[in-house]
Amino acid sequence: MDTKAPAYAATVAALREEVQRRLTFTVGKDNASASPRDWFIATALATRDRVVSSWLASTKRNYEEDRRRVYYLSLEFLVGRLLIDALTNLGLTDPMRDALAELGVDLDRLRALEPDAALGNGGLGRLAACFMDSMATLEIAAMGYGIRYDHGLFCQTIKDGWQHEYPEDWLSFGNPWQFPRPEITYDVCFGGHVESARLTDGMLAHVWRPGETIVAVAYDTPVVGWRGRHVNTLRLWSARAPDPLRLDAFNQGDHVGALTEQVRAEAISKVLYPSDSTPAGQELRLRQEYFFASASLQDLIRRHMKQTGDIIKLADKVAIQLNDTHPAIGVAELMRLLVDVHGVEWKEAWRITQATFSYTNHTLLPEALETWPVWLMEKLLPRHMQIIYLINAMHLDGLREQGVSDAPTLSSVSLIDEHNGRHVRMGHLAFLGSHRINGVSALHSELVKETVFSDFHRLYPDRIVNKTNGVTFRRWLLEANPALSRLLAETIGPAVFDDPERLIELENFADDPSFQSRFAAAKRENKDRLAELIAQNLGVRVDPSALFDVQIKRIHEYKRQLLNVLETVALYHDIKAQPARDFVPRVKIFAGKAAASYHQAKLIIKLANDVAAVVNSDPRARGLLKVVFLPNYNVSLAETIIPAADLSEQISTAGMEASGTGNMKFALNGALTIGTLDGANVEIRERVGDDNIFIFGLTAQEVENSRTQGIDARETIAASPRLTEALRAVASGAFSPDDRHRYAQLVDTLTYYDHFLVSKDFDSYCDAQRRVDARWRDQKAWRRACILNTARVAWFSSDRTIREYAQDIWNVPV
């Protein structure tokens, strides 16, 4: 952008006045008394004002053109900070920076003040945010639906190496991006009973008499597409009691009891993923999922009726995407609304439902394919349980009519799991109620067909398709990595941000020494920034010239942070034992949250921190190895870590990671991947080339074969001296002198029940790390591989993914 052009100067002047006006008339402060947070609010509101006109125009255009609409239902939307995101998409980052500078304010300082929106946990929520960005960029008439959590998942702190959870306070100073819509409310009901009655035409009607009503209140956030041409809406629901106070009880002195109904209602939108380790926690989870599904469906039907006046045309005008099984109860709810509220005949209602819904499966893990006890469904949602029974009966009867009569198959595809207590299978409900089911990587989609939905796939062979995930390139380049973005714009032109496919032009510069030096300089700038953050937050000094080896993701046994930690221990032992050897200096960087009730994952966090404490304080390590665990991983932290990474750890047990999107962001930012052939790693290897990625370990088929032979790892461990020594050190308390038995159970589990095959892949992983060392020593070859990674990953843009959804699933023109 020409900062000397008159138009640019006029934009800067206008923004300066708009910020000043907001500071004075909305925040109520003058320049002298305004705090940095006041300036942030004023800047955010001035930016939001620039969005609103396009937002209103987009909404008007959707109605005038009678456009088919897409509704994306997700329990998570990990949108991160929105100020720089909005400015970037509007093309106003530099003008706003200059406008604020004229007011004596630093934009980067304001950026750091904005809290991350606590609306998600990991990849599922970040994917939803990327998809919302791409839907707006591609000018699809779309709306995201979710829950406005008061306190998110949790704020993670690390005390003495242990994870502690505290409520997120992201709303404590308000949210300048949201528009409260108190006039948009819906009743969401629970409990009670169902009555049957004959109508005048002789048909049997069912009337649900609920025992409890919760009010869903809408809060809207505009989602700006690239260049600001189109703006969609993220609508989040907050739960309220119909009566906020039982005045009779309050006046009788029961001041706490008078608020009981309010507290019970508002618990629904308090936190993301409340622990389900208790019956009350299970009930709250189901209440959450039904609450947002019901409110969203009522809202989109209201909009559809306003637009067309004909409920039968719903599938012609509406596509609903279920992001995982959390909103699957929406299938039964839409049937209830169509049959009970709008009087649609059952078969027609089922046709509409299947034609409207599609379902994205994100996991093969049994615990993530939700099931709910039948008794709980009957208690909370008695009418929905009736509907599910009828869907199931008609489904099974239809199969019998087609000649499917073997009991194992019918039991496998039944919506009701009759084993170990009767449960409703929500993944099955989502499958039956959708016309398309998609996996999120080529490998994952095939495994979906072969494992969790194998019998369904045999019965409905055309229903499962693949839509490999993608990421929003502009956010992970322009916002997270301005140094690399400048280099890209200077080298292949700024049009690369409009068309990521142009990244392939970087191949022409992969062997250019001058470009390699500039590419490395951009990486070093990012590493300096991360090193400073580590020093500020942890008090640990790391060398930016060392290899930054990064694993940042949700802590789970299948993601195998433990494998990384054990290799770190083995490397530490090698450094101590071989002082004359030429080791590559490394910084091992971990971040991620463990579910509050997931003891084993929290123990792995503690082990990582215990290993860090020992390694970082041992002079025998000679600065060749440092280990850090950065707390409270979120989008903003990822935006600092990912551009600085040299090595991306994608080391899950093959066949267990659906796709991953962190792997795409790292490769885009010029990090090399060390990983298994799992999830999207397979497709990344196909595009970047075997020479530019470090693959190790068992394949998904080999994992399955190995498990059938048993998961007792004693022989495998005995055959690996380095693993044996590492496990002996961990088990003996070498890293936990205050509690020498702390990790005995962890080591025993790995030894006798190595379900995630850490021991099987350990030696292969270590060999791959030594290949990493060899490549790192040849900096010309390393830089070439990094450049080729950036050049060849354009296919992993979420714009491409959304185009495929639009064309193949939603039937929406793009």
List beta partners, residue 214: 188
List CB contacts of 124: < 8 A, sequence separation 6 or more.
74, 75, 76, 323, 324, 362
Q: Fill in the DSSP letter of residue 358.
A: E
The runs of H, that is alpha helices, within 539-560 are none
Q: How far is CA 140 from the centre of its chain?
A: 21
3-state secondary structure of 444: helix
Structure tokens at 656: 């267990």
Q: Give the CA distances from residue 123 to residues 44, 58, 701, in Å, rounded to whole numbers and listed in that order.
A: 26, 29, 25
Q: Give the CA distances from residue 653 to residues 123, 127, 557, 564, 719, in Å, rounded to whole numbers and listed in that order.
A: 17, 21, 9, 12, 20
Q: Catalytic: 661?
A: yes
Q: Catalogue the long-range contacts made by 768-774 (C-beta closer than 8 Å, 24 or more residues apart).
A: 768/674, 768/694, 768/695, 768/696, 769/567, 769/571, 769/674, 771/694, 772/547, 772/584, 772/647, 772/672, 772/674, 772/694, 773/583, 773/584
List CB contacts of 733: < 8 A, sequence separation 6 or more.
739, 740, 741, 742, 743
Q: Catalytic: 400?
A: no
Decide if 530 contacts 480 (C-beta within 8 A). no
What's the distance, Cα to Cα, between the start and end of the chain in Å?
A: 29
C-alpha–C-alpha distance, residues 450 and 473, integer Å: 32
Say which of 50, 336, 362, 775 is annotated catalytic. 362
Closest CA to 70 of 62, 60, 80: 62
C-alpha–C-alpha distance, residues 790 and 643, integer Å: 11
- Specify the amino acid at residue 725: E
Got the DSSP string for 578-630?
Answer: -TTS-PPPEEEEEE----TT-HHHHHHHHHHHHHHHHHHH-GGGTTSEEEEEE
Q: Catalytic: 457?
A: no
C-alpha–C-alpha distance, residues 760 and 409, integer Å: 34
74-100 CB burial, b ≥16 within 10 A, e <16: bbbbbbbbbbbbbbbbbebbebbbbbb
List beta partners, residue 186: 216
Q: Give the CA distances from residue 220 to residues 133, 188, 252, in Å, rounded to whole numbers and listed in that order.
A: 15, 19, 39
Decide if 464 contacts 359 (C-beta within 8 A). no
Q: Catalytic: 553?
A: yes
Residue where the block lists tokens 């089911």: 437
C-alpha–C-alpha distance, residues 241 and 233, integer Å: 25
Q: Catalytic: 181?
A: no
C-alpha–C-alpha distance, residues 601 and 554, integer Å: 9
C-alpha–C-alpha distance, residues 350 and 553, integer Å: 39
341: exposed, middle or buried (C-beta count within 10 Å: 0-12, 13-18, 19+)?
exposed
List CB contacts of 116: < 8 A, sequence separation 6 or more.
80, 81, 170, 634, 635, 636
Q: Catalytic: 626?
A: no
The runs of H, that is alpha helices, within 463-597 are 473-474, 482-492, 513-538, 561-577
C-alpha–C-alpha distance, residues 764 and 696, integer Å: 6
| Crossing angle of helices 346-356 and 329-336, rounded to 10° | 140
Structure tokens at 129: 């945010």
Decide if 392 contacts 355 (C-beta within 8 A). no
Closest CA to 765 of 634, 667, 674: 674
Say which of 16, 428, 436, 553 is annotated catalytic. 553
Catalytic residues: 362, 553-554, 559, 661, 665
